[in-house]
Chain A
């Protein structure tokens, strides 16, 4: 099997209207948590479906552990035995309980899934005695998460997994993802919520109109960004300060600007007498991934 857990090689899936995914190339390694972000209709779910053999690509290929699920029919089951998938809109069998639904889905695997299933249900607080068709969206998501993980997959694909989950369960889910990645699984995490991607993903790809717009290591991207300075001054109308920076007042009454110099130089500048005496509080921070993505969207829209 390939060392790449997930590989998209110039994958295209184009629908008659022209939308879909175009020439997508990216790889996910074992042990990596990979974020897949983009606005609605960017083609995230289309790419995932093509990867998992649910739809046929119109060009290129996608594979799991080197097996192309759309073409290599003989080895499709072999690859899917390694895959766990949380769809964006999980469904349930009407009239069945959570336990029955999970037992049915687990029954397609040769391995006994019961022990891990019980552990997962306990961790994300899923009541297995309830009828599945009476569950809220959040609980249906929990069911889908357990169903995707109870056979200890080495490739875990999640399409908008956190929608409908309460903050505690979300936190537990992210902890679980980090754990399975530490154990060697590749986690492919599609989300609208960029802050989630920032907190759990090692790398991420930004998809726009079906095309790969950005593929970077999350921490590298954040580190490369200039620091943002938020400072509270004794007198915010101080003309010296206003002329010193391109600062503008924010909603909290602080002056805010993006530093154009490296951290040591910035600290030195702030420590100067002229400034230090005027500042009552200062916060230095990297912009969030969400801000960067939104900034890029705005820039492209302006062009």
Chain B
């Protein structure tokens, strides 16, 4: 006969997982923040000169075909407004940063299977869903740090360039919206990773899905007939050019939060059904 042993509280186990995942993700975060931050700083640093070139430059851009302007969110371009200028350039940066979110999700979810640690981890007195919740929270914290850092880079760059942000709420909303897009892409990548039969295919699968969703958003903007596709792309729910125009996040961003939670629940269900180490 064996006596029951005391068990560690689930919340303590979640904190334990978060702390490991944060320590393992920090290098990846830094290696993405540095180039993306530099790209953002370089881009925003040019706002003043672009703004001075003013209407002539804007006119040139407006002469581009409408689908192209629509595809890159430049239909309502206003280079003199710092937030408008940020939004004009944000479309490409959103895709790049979403790739980070996607890789982060796939890496976190497949870390143990890629390192032959699944059997070791899941024979500890911890539920599979506790592990996944810990990983998801760690990922959300990393993405939050990523977006906060980028927004600070943008803020400081404008301040350094002597550009006054007349609509700080809209400026912050661009990054907040992107953060929500990131969390959705991240959750989707977790689901893709736990559904992948081989850990090594998790990242490529997640990246493929992210590109695909971005492409859907673009197609929806280019062709009116495919307009409904925008509902399938998380990028459409927090579009920077829309935020620049309206001055803040629309209520529809709630869809991203709901989708993130639903995707994580689906990932937990899938993980609980998986056979490990086979």
Contact = CB atoms under 8 A, between A and B. Distances in A.
A55 B278 contact: yes
A111 B126 CA distance: 14
B5 A110 contact: yes
A81 B125 CA distance: 5
A78 B5 contact: yes
A105 B117 CA distance: 11
Contacts of A80: 123-126
A294 B20 CA distance: 47
Interface of B is mostly: loop
B164 interface: no
Contacts of A54: 118-119, 122-123, 275-277
Interface residues of B, number: 31
Contacts of B115: 91-94
A208 interface: no
A1 interface: yes
A108 interface: yes
A114 interface: no
A65 B118 CA distance: 23
A154 B118 CA distance: 22
Given A93-B20, A93-B115, A105-B120, A76 B127 contact: yes
Nearest to A157: B123
B116 A93 contact: no
Interface string B127-154: 1000000000000000000000000000
14 contacts: A3-B1, A49-B277, A54-B275, A78-B125, A85-B119, A85-B123, A91-B112, A93-B20, A107-B8, A108-B8, A108-B124, A108-B126, A110-B5, A111-B6
Given A94-B24, A95-B24, 15 more contacts: A49-B119, A49-B275, A49-B278, A52-B119, A54-B275, A55-B276, A77-B126, A78-B125, A91-B120, A93-B20, A93-B111, A104-B20, A109-B125, A110-B7, A144-B120
Interface of B: 1-2, 4-8, 13, 16, 20, 24, 27, 111-112, 115-127, 275-278
